[in-house]
Chain A
Amino acid sequence: GAVVSQHPSRVICKSGTSVKIECRSLDFQATTMFWYRQFPKQSLMLMATSNEGSKATYEQGVEKDKFLINHASLTLSTLTVTSAHPEDSSFYICSARDRGGGGNQPQHFGDGTRLSIL
């Protein structure tokens, strides 16, 4: 089955630090990856759609300069939380969809990254 690898799984760092999270599709190619944020006991909130070779599409209210997304290849997208502050602490999850098979291939999720800013 399709596997999405996300690293790191846990980050604890000081306020002001920039943190990079990687999302890789291991056995399929993904022209599109998605980045979500999930607060405790809440649903997944889409932050941005990452498109290979082009700029990401951000959801309303998400600061693009704060959450930098790069999707340089068909198997890797990165999310960088710049100058992180305690309010950025959350669970960040990526997902990817196989580019083959038309528009309704299911999304497969990474294991998530729990970010804690002190």
Chain B
Amino acid sequence: GENVEQHPSTLSVQEGDSAVIKCTYSDSASNYFPWYKQELGKRPQLIIDIRSNVGEKKDQRIAVTLNKTAKHFSLHITETQPEDSAVYFCAAKRRVGNEKLTFGTGTRLTIIP
């Protein structure tokens, strides 16, 4: 089955600086990679996703890059703000049918004002 590793487990950055979270996956058949943000006690919310036919996707301050050859993908948050503080999870899934998402272990991001 799929195995997703995520690093770092915790990350603190100064407000305004950039944050980068990295994930690797093992199943070469995976082709859908979403990122979720979870605030304490709340639901995970999809913030961005990427499919394997593209290498990069951007949405305002958030971007995701994908390297299929190396089987890794990264989340980039620029100009960080205090409200970016949360736990971020990467995930991977095959396209076929209703294959399940496999989540990474999460990164606790703290933005220091």
Q: Which residues of A contact B (CB under 8 A)?
A: 31-32, 34, 41-44, 46, 49, 51, 91, 93, 97, 103-104, 106-112, 114
Contacts and interface: CB of A to CB of B under 8 A. Distances in A.
A49 B41 CA distance: 23
Interface of B: 31-32, 34, 36, 41-46, 49, 51, 89, 93, 95-106, 108
B43 A97 contact: no
Contacts of B41: 91, 112, 114
B96 A103 contact: yes
Interface majority SS on A: helix, strand, loop or mixed? strand
Contacts, number: 53
A111 B42 contact: yes
B98 A106 contact: no
A44 B42 contact: no
Nearest to B45: A109
B95 A107 contact: no
Given A49-B98, A107-B101, 6 more contacts: A32-B98, A41-B108, A46-B100, A103-B97, A104-B32, A110-B43
